[in-house]
Structure formats: structure tokens, C-alpha cells
Amino acid sequence: MAFRLPKGVREYHDMVNNRTDGGVKFKYLFDFYYLCLMLGLDKAKIGPKENLESGEFVDDYPDPYKNVSEIVAGLLIDAEMRRKDIAPQDRTRIENLMLGIIDQFSLTGLNQEGLDLLNRYAVTGFEEIHTNITKTSELETFLVHYYQLFNNQVGA
């Protein structure tokens, strides 16, 4: 049970992390995964499993993300509710949705189904990034474009 990267993420990530001009780089590969994930959850759209790398890249949140793991789980529940069009007063469906993705014994708090969904949301997020943000080695430029994309300021 682990996080898997959307195919193509490494090229974007590596472009930044191979920069030689002394600029800031990603500290974790997970940072880029997280950015893809947030965008995908925002869109409430999952991508195909085939667009994920076959191997896993981490099986738990890196340290800086451990205290947001429950928030991510919350965003996942929210995204799934929107994606499946679950009415806010439908107690049973919401409860079943939550039970279907949580695992009290796993490192991430999510079961395989939950992690698979996160990974597929990341696929969508990466497609958004890939379509709207030109690959660059400058992390500072990438982050600005990402924020603008996330807040629908593309082209601003």
C-alpha cells in the first residue's frame, strides 16, 4: 500500500532538481506529487490507473506532511462526494464512503482503495499541470504558475 507517481512527473521534478544555477529545488519528490494531488482533488476528477508508474515511490507521508494527512483524507472525502454526486444529507452513503477508504491500521490512515484514489486524483492534477505549465528548471517560476493555475488565474 503506497503512493504511486503519475507517469511523467519525474521529468518535471528532475528538471528542477537537476538545475545547476544554485536555485531552490524540491526537497521531496512527494512535494510534486502533493501539488498534482491537490489540483486533482480540486477538480474532483480521477485519471486512469494506466497513467501511474508501476512501482511505488513512498509508503507514507514524509515528515512535513504527516500533520496534514487527515486534512488530505478530508479533501478526498469531499472530492469523492462531489465526483459521485452524493447529497449532503445522505448519511448512509457518506458513512459508507468514509468506511470504504479509511484504514485505522495503515501508516497513512487510508486503505488501498483510498490510496488508489489519491494516486488517480494525482494523475488528473498532473495532466492539468502538464497542459498548462511549461516545464521549467526554475522552481520559483513553477510555483507561481501553479498557484495561478490553482486559483484559475491561468494567463494572469
Partner 1 sequence: MRLRILSLSFKNIRGVRNLDISFKQGERKPFPISLVMMPNGTGKTTTITLLRAVLDGQAATWDSNIVREFKPAEYDPPKGEFSAKLLFDNELYNVTLILNYEKGEAYYQTSRVSTTGGGLDVGHALPPLAKDMFQKEFVKRFVFDGELAKEILSSDSDEAEKAIKYLYKVNRLGELGTRIDQIIEQIQKNAEKSNIKSKQALSGLRTQLDKIKKTLLKLKGRQKELEAEIGSKSNRINNIELQISEKIKANADLRERAEVLTNERNTNKIAINAAAQSYLEEIRIPYNLSRNVAERLNQLSGKLYNLKLPRTTSRQFFEDLAEQPTCICKRPIGKEEKEAILQQANEYLGDDQIGVINAIKQAIKDKTYNDSLENKTNDLIAKLDERQRNATDWDRLQVMLEEAGDLEIQVLNAEKVKLINQVEKLNNEYEALTTKDKEKLKRLIWEENIQLCEEEEENKKERLAEASNTVSLTNSSERVNRYLKRIETEVLKLLKEKIRNETNNKVGSIIKNDTLNIENIDGYLHLTGKKGASVGQTLAIAYSYLGAMFDNSSHELPFVVDSPAGALDLDVRREVSAILPTLFKQLIVFITSGEKEGFTDHFYRLGPDVQYLSVAKNKDADAALLEGVEEFEKFQEVASS
1 near partner 1, judged by CB under 8 A: no
Half-sphere exposure of 131 toward its Cβ, with a 13 Å CA cutoff? 10
Q: How far is the CB of 84 from partner 1 (least distance, A)?
A: 14
Site for partner 1 in 39-78 (CB under 8 A): 42, 51, 64-65, 68, 70-75, 77-78
Q: How far is the CB of 48 from partner 1 (least distance, A)?
A: 10
C-alpha dihedral (51, 54, 55, 58), degrees to nearest 10: 30
100 near partner 1, judged by CB under 8 A: no
Count of Cβ atoms closer than 10 Å to residue 122 Cβ: 29
Task: Give the residue carrying C-alpha cell 501553479.
Answer: 146
- ∠ CA 105-68-62, nearest 5°, is 75
Q: How far is the CB of 35 from partner 1 (least distance, A)?
A: 7
HEC secondary structure over 125-136: HHHHHHHHCCCC
32 near partner 1, judged by CB under 8 A: no
From candidates 3, 29, 33, 34, binder to partner 1 by CB under 8 A: 34
From candidates 17, 19, 130, 132, binder to partner 1 by CB under 8 A: 130
95 near partner 1, judged by CB under 8 A: yes
